[in-house]
Amino acid sequence: MRQKIGILGATGMVGQRFIQLLENHPWFEVAWLAASDRSSGKKYGEAVKWKLDTALPERIANMTVSPAVPDHAPRIIFAALDTDIAREMEPAFAAAGCAVISNSSAFRMHEDVPLVIPEVNADHLPILENQTWRKESGGYIVTNPNCSAIGLVLVLKPLVERFGIDAIFVSTMQAISGAGYPGVASMDILGNVVPYIKNEEEKMQAETLRLLGSRDGKLVKPLAAGMTAHCNRVPVEDGHTESVSVKLSRKATKEEILAAWREFQPLAGRDLPTAPAQPIEFVGLEDRPQPRLDKMRGNGMAATVGRLRECTLLDWKFTVLSHNTIRGAAGAALLNAELLVSLGKLDPVKNSDQAAVTA
């Protein structure tokens, strides 16, 4: 018996990834698809420009796209909406009692909305109990971070735990799929670099510190570390690569750092279907990680790190890679939903009493 779920923004790039990742999912079943008015009422197979290299499942292709209103939506909603639309639509679904598992940036920094990576800060989840929607209808919003932050945060988390981090420098080389479809014009990126992604540096900095922060009662206190991000777009299809330098609070050897990454197993025992066996994979080859070769580690859910070496300015430097539309978007939301299920907090009842979430 799989739980029925719905997808908001089902025809976009992240919406397509949701469909791909949910095909054959052991816990969830796609039961409802919504998109813009233009698509509403059409067969999904006709409404979508399918851009993935696996086939659009027949059953999904034949589903009719619903209007983006909560009336007949299931309790669990994966939301892959543009920020402006999310800002209006996600509250409507939460108010109607839906658990909105959102990939949008609209509410990530909202004080009552958990911004969560299950391996990193599952203990932030209880702040969702403060949401008015939660209190009134049982609905709520939970978010996952920006695609540029998630791989970085996974790799930094064990360092924060074991050594503390005082300063973070990161420069990204981000894939085009992060901009959706049609997204980046080929005239802008073929054989080129665009050293700018609107609002990305601000999001990456704020979200990273919040994710690595600690919950203090009803509030999340961001990590007290200096951080700066340079965000760049490069002609890569999938996979964000990041050059990182960090200053640790307490000195650590190379071996200690490698051990911290290797032993990072915060979800051990939970058996979440989408969780990678090894959330952080270290690759010892001198020219890795690379998006083409490493983005699919852990079925696209692992963060790969390599080139660990001393930094002549801070303490250590290394390169981080993660898949931006799997670990950085649809897979992140899916793993959040699995965590909520495993905490017993995603029961299929809507508009009803809901037990408090405690992680």
> Which residues belong to the active site?
147, 240
Window 188-247: residues binding a copy of itself (CB under 8 A): 188-196, 205, 226-228, 230, 232, 234-237, 241, 243, 245
Rounded Cα distance, 224 and 204, in Å: 15
Q: Using alpha carbons, select from 114, 132, 331, 156 the residue that is nearest to residue 257.
A: 156
Q: How far is the CB of 220 from a copy of itself (least distance, A)?
A: 19
Q: How far is the CB of 8 from a copy of itself (least distance, A)?
A: 21
319 belongs to the binding site for a copy of itself (CB under 8 A):
yes
Which of 296, 308, 343, 359 binds a copy of itself (CB under 8 A)? It is 296
Q: How far is the CB of 240 from a copy of itself (least distance, A)?
A: 9
Q: How many residues bind a copy of itself (CB under 8 A)?
A: 63
Residue 267 to residues 28, 64, 105, 325: CA-CA distances in angstroms? 20, 37, 25, 21
Which of 3, 171, 249, 265 binds a copy of itself (CB under 8 A)? It is 171
Q: Which long-range contacts (CB under 8 A, 24 or more apart) does 49-58 make?
A: 49/11, 49/181, 50/16, 51/13, 51/16, 51/181, 52/16, 52/17, 52/20, 54/20, 56/19, 57/19, 57/23
Read off the tokens for 299: 């079925």
CB atoms closer than 10 angstroms to residue 253: 9
Read off the tokens for 265: 């197993």
Judged by beta carbon, residue 77 or residue 212, the one nearer a copy of itself is 212
Fill in the DSSP letter of residue 355.
Answer: P
Judged by beta carbon, residue 112 or residue 294, the one nearer a copy of itself is 294
Element (H, E) at 148: helix 147-162
Contact code string over 41-80 relative to a copy of itself, x by CB under 8 A? ---------xxxxxx-------------------------
Enumerate binding residues for a copy of itself (CB under 8 A).
13, 50-55, 167-169, 171, 173, 176-177, 181-196, 205, 226-228, 230, 232, 234-237, 241, 243, 245, 286-297, 306-307, 311-314, 317, 319
